[in-house]
Every structure is written in C-alpha cells, then in structure tokens.
Amino acid sequence: MVGKILNYGSINIDEFFTVPHICKSGETLSSSSYTMRAGGKGANQSAALAKAGGKIYHAGKIGKDALWVRDYMSEQGIDMSLTKLAEDENNGRALIQVSQETGDNAIMLFPGTNGTYDPKEFDGLLSQFGPGDWIVQQNEISKGGEMMRLAADKGLSVLFNPAPLTRGILDSFPFDKVSVLVVNEHEAEDLCREFGGNVSLSSSTGLEIAGELFNRFKTMQGVVVTLGGEGVVGKFRDQGEIRDFEVPSRKVPVKDTTGAGDTFVGYFLAGLVRSEAKTYFERVHNALEEANLAASIAVQREGSMVSVPTLAEVEEAKKRQ
C-alpha cells in the first residue's frame, strides 16, 4: 500500500511584482504587473505532491483573509481537513519581486498565521499516520522541530527542506531524525557553514557539498542538492551501500523560478513513494529525474503554485526527450 504524506507546512498569500531587476538598497522601482496568488513553500509542495500522484494531507493555519486559499488547495487534490482557522491572525504573506531581466526572484516573508502552531495539537495531527508514512517540513512555520521529533518517534519518515535557512537551524531542528534532506546549492553551502564545514560553491562541486552533508548526518538515507540550471545531485545509502546520483537539467527558457524548488520537492517525494522499481536506488534515480523534469517545466511559467505541472504534462515531456 502506498504511504500517506503529511505536510506540516506554511500557507501564504503570494503577491508578485514584476520589476526590471531586483530592487537594490535605497532604490525605488515601478512594477509593470501585480498578481495575488495562493502560495507558501508548504502549500506549494503539497500542490506538487498532489499533482504528482501523492496522497497528501496538509496541516496548516490560515487566517480569515485566506479562506479562498484553502478552497483553492482543495481543488488541487490536497486533503485540507487538518488545516485550521486562526481567528485573530492575518494570514502569512510573501512579497515577491520577479526580475524581467533574468526571471530570478527576491522574497520578503510575513509569517502571520504560520507563526501560530501549537505543540498541543501535534498528537491529534499525527493520530492517523504511522510507519510507512512520510512527513514533509520546511522552515516557514513555528515549532517545526518539535513536530519533526514527535513524527519521527511515531515511525514516520521525514523529508526536510530547510528553507528559508536561518542562523541556528541546527539547534531548532533534530537533523538526526531526518530521512531525506533536500536543499538548493546556496542552502547547502550555508548549512555546511552552520556546522563549521569549509566547502564553498567556488571551490567544490555540488556532489562534494552533498557528500559533506551526507557524511555529517550519518542517520540520513539521502541528501539532495538542486543546482538550478545545472540539474541535481544526490547521495543515498541503502543496506550498507552508498551511491551518487547526477541528473543534468534540460535547457529551457526561464520565465520565473519562484515555484521550481517546491515543484522539485513534491515530485521527488511523490515519485519515491509511488515508484514500483525493484530497488531503492532505482526508485531514487527515477524520482530525481521526474522531479528535475517537473521543475524545468515550472520555470517556464509565472507564479508558484500555479506553475506546478500535472503528472500528465510531465509524462508528455518525458516522451519528447
């Protein structure tokens, strides 16, 4: 039976501003367009998990100003029964600049309801999950470390995407409970610095940085480092064997990178959970390839949650490769 996936994650209202370039200190820019959409790293990853075929439950907090976001997420195939209304709080928001020159973005976060999680609720949230199931977490919500520890102790496997990566994160989250760590190249470098490592993007390959993290956290099944336009690398262990993975990226026109990382996380875990490949390493390889392909589709579209492709679109793209 395919395991269930619980996403204990953020729900934001995303406000997008298209600008000539990312605003510099002291600079005032005019935006050529403005859009408001559903978002948040947690919500985006849940949408990707659902579109990729995962059985996904989202445990979040929303404000009255975001009831439409809850409805929209339900329409994407996400079970929202574990998401609660925070009556007296404004919903979390992200103000996102998108550069017309490069498609890159800069994001400012207001936590709002994402900072109101209560550990007293955790046992109830986890009551329908157990061994064989997964929990997905990011670093946009409060009390994440406590939830991670409790979920792992109940037998859930943990996928952790520690974004945004904040100073002191090693003290906030029990990394020894993480099954699979997914980071981008900059987060990987910063995380290495957090525990005193001396690797850097200028002097180390992505696989070397993945190896540094993998060797540091010896209880993890695997570490994945996404490299943007250069693809993705990973290092995984199974039954005493360790294997490296390198998946190159497709060269595509980039419109907006906002939702690419979340698309990757959702498609990777959904692919890993539903894969029928005979060996664990085959399942990992297939999931990495599919997630990388899905992310390459997402960057060709504007927005975050709305940019996540359907599984049918990803399957069609596979045929064209």
Instruction: Out of 153, 190, 244, 262, pick the active-site residue.
Output: 262
229 is in an annotated binding site: yes
278 is in an annotated binding site: no
d(CA 265, CA 50): 12
262 is in an annotated binding site: yes
54 is in an annotated binding site: no
261 is in an annotated binding site: yes
d(CA 278, CA 284): 11
44 is in an annotated binding site: yes
84 is in an annotated binding site: no
For the chain, give the secondary structure using H, E and C: CCCCEEEECCCEEEEEEEECCCCCCCCCCCCCEEEEEEECHHHHHHHHHHHCCCCEEEECEECHHHHHHHHHHHHCCCECCCCEECCCCCCEEEEEEEECCCCCEEEEEECHHHHCCCHHHHHHHHCCCCCCCEEEECCCCCCHHHHHHHHHHCCCEEEECCCCCCCCHHHHCCHHHCCEEEEEHHHHHHHHHHCCCCCCCCCCCHHHHHHHHHHHCCCCCEEEEECHHHCEEEEEEECCEEEEEEECCCCCCCCCCCCHHHHHHHHHHHHHHHCCCCCHHHHHHHHHHHHHHHHHHHCCCCCCHHHCCCHHHHHHHHHHC
176 is in an annotated binding site: no
301 is in an annotated binding site: yes
303 is in an annotated binding site: yes
Is residue 262 annotated as a catalytic residue, yes or no? yes
168 is in an annotated binding site: no
55 is in an annotated binding site: no
256 is in an annotated binding site: yes
298 is in an annotated binding site: yes
139 is in an annotated binding site: no
- Report, as residue numbers or ranges, the catalytic residues: 262
Q: Which residues participate in the annotated binding site for K(+)?
A: 256, 258, 298, 301, 303, 307
Q: Which residues participate in the annotated binding site for substrate?
A: 12-14, 40-44, 140, 262
Q: Which residues participate in the annotated binding site?
A: 12-14, 40-44, 140, 184, 226-231, 256, 258, 261-262, 292, 298, 301, 303, 307
Q: Which residues participate in the annotated binding site for ATP?
A: 184, 226-231, 261-262, 292
